[in-house]
Structure formats: structure tokens, C-alpha cells
Amino acid sequence: MSSESHLRRLTLLYNCTANTLILRTVSKKIAPWLAAGPEIVPQPTAIWPIHLLLVIVLLVIISTLYLALRSRTVYLVDYACFRPNSNLRITKATFLEHARLSSLLDDSIVNFIATILKRSGMSDETCVPPVHHYIEPCCGLDEARNEAELVVFSVIDDLLAKTCIKRDAIGGLITNCSAFCPVPSIADMIVNKYKLRSDIRVMNLSGMACSASMIAVGLASNMLQVMPRGSHVLVVSTETIGPSYYSGNKRSMVLSNILLRVGGVAKLLSTSRSKARFRLVYFTRIITAANNSAYRCVYQEEDEKGNLGIALSKDLTVVAGDALKANIMATGPYVLPTSELLKFSLFNMARKMPHGRNIRPYIPNFCVTFEHFCIHAGGPAVISSVQHGLKLSDQYVEPSWMTLHRFGNQLSSSVWYELAYIDAKGQMKKNDRVWMIGFGAGYECNTASWVCIQPSSSADGPWGNCINHYRKDIFKKILN
């Protein structure tokens, strides 16, 4: 129920009370005094019921306004990640062999691909869509739609099975996919497949790349503020990478072919705490698109031969670092303890003093606030720069490195695979706090902080059949 409807009911309640109870009470108490003459002064004991009634009405008004205008708590009921079949697996050797057999790629580009694959941090278990298994990938509309349906319908089926929620209970739907925007939209595909309500609120996000999943969470939270209490919003995040395959020889554009892998996640958010696993604490969105270098650091364009692809700038890590700093400045006052805020303020004051330029800026210790970190697995450089910037030990970035190693860069859904890794390892405890950090085109840095209400009861999910393979010794080999 919206705040406007609350206020309308409140106005009606106040008018009814004023016209009936208050006026009747006043007429009964004041009328005898007026008839008796001005020399009679009413006694305090005779008018105190009027004051009491007015106080009660005022309390009702204040309580109604508080309930109507306060921000509602948003919960994550559960989530489900896409687990690709083994027939979609592509080894690094196979990927490199396809590049060598391609008639479109120069020898220098093939050598560049070999170098990036070696440094990528990815294993031979990552998966790509079916069209990428051909030596000359060609993705048409049907192939792209099939890829989207494969991922989207699988994760929704898993989520509905986990939550046992009725489809009529879903009042909102948000989808995000950057490069593939068909007509009808992916959101309409979902409504048609699952026969969702005709009055469902639907939003379809595109062009926001790796940070879109975090944006969708913030949008769902805002949507739930104006929906009836206890409503549910389904959020589906994926990237259809088939249509974005680049067939040219520009190095900055070949990178996306090497690093991007198939993946997706479905999340159910609600204002009802029933069966919820996490509570959303704070969401921060930072966009730096006003800066030209940040705007063009992840840019879809054509090369000199007309081949369409996504170019990744050399300044990407610097731009990401600046965006993360801006996000920390916005998020810190709301999540950090007073001791850390005081240290940060004192260091800033000292740096502004004469000869204070030599003092290094103080980086708040976010480990006192969060037990777990889910950093976008964009690549080794991204994870390492965030780890260095936040001064995190290896244990805090383990989920990010393992996700990159097992699944590759799955764009907007990667942070949820990291959360699934923590769940599968049994590391998530009640009241543990999680900080998700997503980066994406624009350039954007979006974060969401969660508190665990109910740990996972099983290790099922994308890591269900392989979590035992990812031991500490494997993690050390990946870092080395």
C-alpha cells in the first residue's frame, strides 16, 4: 500500500473522529458552562477527557505517518545460479586451437590470445554457449534467443523449486542483459513461459554490463517500497555473449572473447521475512560516465573493417579504482563502525595540514564490518587491485579467485556464484555480513551489503558437484 493511500485513510479517520467524538465531547462539557454564564469557570477535572482524547488522536496520526513513510526492510528469499552442462565446456587448448584454425585471425592475435589465456586465471572447466564451439562462430537471432532461454529458464526453474513460491505471488520482474535486447524482451519471454500475472510490474535493463545485477537489486528494493507489504520481485541476471562475439584482429576487442563465459542467476526479493535468507542493509550506486575516459573504457564499437565488438581500455583498472574509491566514500559512513570513521576523519584532517601531503590516505578496515566479500570476477587484475585497495587478506578474496578459475568472467552474475561458493563451503553463518562489489560499463561501481538470516541447509547449486575439489592447496596454486 502506497504512502498516498495511507494519508487518504488517515485524513478520513481524522475527519470522522473530529466530527463525532471531539465535537460531541466538547458540546457536552462546554454547553452547560455557556448556558450558566461567563462567571462560571470550567474546572480542570472537567476538561481533562478532551485533552486525553486529543493526545490519543495525535498518537494515532504520528504512528500512521511513521508506518506509512518509513523505509521497508527488503529481504533476499533465495537465489539460484546456472550450472552449465559439461557439453558446453571449452578447454584453453581447444579455444587456442580454434583461434589457430580460424581464417579471420592473424598470427599476432593468436599469440596474444595464448598469452591472455595463460594469465587469465581460468581453468579448463569454463563454459561458452554452443555457437562459440564452432571454429567460425556465427550467432543469429535464433541462436541468441536459445542461449538466453537456456540460462534464464533453468535458473528460474531452480529458484521456484527452492522457494516453493506460487507464480501468482510474484508482483514484479526485473531482468538485465546487456548485449542482447530482442523483441519481445527477455522479461516478456519469462512472463509468457511461466504465465505470470497480467498486472506484474516489469522492467528490462540493458547496456549496463557487469554491474547490472547490483543495479537490479537496488531497483527491486525501490519497487518493493511502493508495492503492498509482503510482495515479491523476481530478478533475473544474465549476459547472452553469443551476439557480442568479435571476429576481428583488434586486441582491445578480442579480450571479451577470451574472458567472457556463460552464466546467470535468479533472485527472489521481498518485504516479507518469512523464509528469507538475507536482509539487505545498504545499497550504493556510483556512476562516473561524466568522465570521458571512464565512459569509453568499456565501449561497444566497430573496428576499421566494420566488425562489431566490445573494446576494453588499458585504463580499466585505474577507472575501476577511482569508482571504488567514490563508492567507499559514499558507503563508509553507513556501514563502518565509529572507530574507523574517526580514524578516517583524523587522517583527512592531517593531510590538509601544512606538510601533510606526505601522509598516505587512510584506508578503512572493512574487515571489521564484513565477514565475506564478493568481488566481481572480471579478471586477475580486477580482483588483485580491489584486494590491494581494501587491504584484504587472501581468505577474503578466495571466493572471487575460485569463481574466476571455475566459471570465468560471468559478468553481472559472478558475485552470486561467489556467494554460492561461500554457502557450499559452509562458511556462511547466521548474522554474517556480506559485501558485494560490482563493476560495469558506464563506468559504474555498485555495492550491496547483506546480513545472513538463515544459512544454507545444503551445498546444492553450481558448486554442488565440484566444491570438494577446491581446497586450500588449489587456491595457493591459483594465486601463484
Q: Which DSSP string do the residues of 395-429 spell out, in sequence order?
A: HHHHHHHHHHHHH-B-GGGHHHHHHHHHHHTT---
| Residue predicted with more confidence, 354 or 9 | 354
What band does 442 get if pLDDT is binned at 50, 70 and 90?
confident
Question: In this model, does residue 194 exceed pLDDT 90?
Answer: yes
Please check whether residues 198 and 300 belong to one and the same domain. yes
Per-residue model confidence (pLDDT) at position 246: 92
The residue among 376, 390, 449 whose CA lies nearest residue 418 is 376
Q: Give the mean pLDDT of the chain.
A: 86
Q: What is the DSSP letter of 99?
A: H
pLDDT greater than 50 at residue 53 = yes
Q: Which of 259, 269, 275, 282 is nearest to 237 (CA)?
A: 269
All three cell numbers of 66: 511513521
- SS3 assignment, position 447: strand
The bridge status of strand 433-440 relative to strand 444-452 is antiparallel
CA distance 417 to 265: 8
Last residue of a domain, one of 31, 48, 69: 69
Q: Can the peptide bond before residue 337 be classed as cis, meaning omega within 30 degrees of 0?
A: no
What are the pLDDT digits (tens) for 423-440?
999 999 999 999 999 999
Nearest residue to 317 (alpha-carbon basis) of 401, 381, 405, 240: 381
Do residue 52 and residue 101 come from a single domain? no
Do 244 and 282 share a structural domain?
A: yes
Verify that 97 and 46 share a domain, yes or no: no
pLDDT tier at 26 (50, 70, 90 boundaries)?
A: very low
Residue 11: its pLDDT value, please?
A: 55
Same structural domain for residues 60 and 141? no
Cell of 371: 565477514
For the chain, what is the domain count? 2
- What is the Cα–Cα distance from 377 to 386, expressed in whole angstroms? 11
pLDDT, greater one: 330 or 358: 330
Question: Is 400 found in the same domain as 460?
Answer: yes
Residue 194 belongs to domain with CATH number? 3.40.47.10
Residues in the chain: 480
| C-alpha dihedral sign at 386, 391, 396, 398 | positive
The answer to whether the pTM exceeds 0.95 is no
Q: Which residue has the higher pLDDT, 301 or 469?
A: 301
Q: Are residues 51 and 168 in the same domain?
A: no
Q: Which of 69, 96, 126 is the last residue of a domain?
A: 69
- Could you tell me the pLDDT band of residue 24, with boundaries at 50, 70 and 90? low
Q: Are residues 206 and 353 in the same domain?
A: yes
- What pLDDT, in 10s, does the model give residues 109-164? 999 999 999 999 999 999 999 999 999 888 889 999 999 999 999 999 999 999 99
Q: What is the pLDDT of residues 55-110, one digit of tens each?
A: 787 788 777 766 666 679 999 999 999 999 999 999 999 999 999 999 999 999 99
Nearest to 280 by CA among 69, 436, 423: 436
**CA 68, CA 75: separation in Å to the nearest integer?**
19
Cell of 405: 578459475
Parallel, antiparallel, or unpaired for β 201-205 and 170-176? parallel
Same domain, 43 and 105: no
Distance of CA 21 to the CA centre of its chain: 51
Count CB atoms within 10 A of the CB of residue 429.
10
Place of cell 565501449: 299
Same domain, 52 and 85: no
Q: Which of 51, 69, 87 is a domain's end point?
A: 69
Q: Domain range spanning residue 46?
A: 3-69
pLDDT of 32 over the 60 cut: no
3-class DSSP state of 298: strand
**Are 178 and 250 members of one domain?**
yes
Predicted local confidence at residue 30, as pLDDT: 46
105 shares its domain with 236: yes
Cis status, amide bond into 443, omega within 30 of 0: yes
Top-confidence residue, 55 or 2: 55
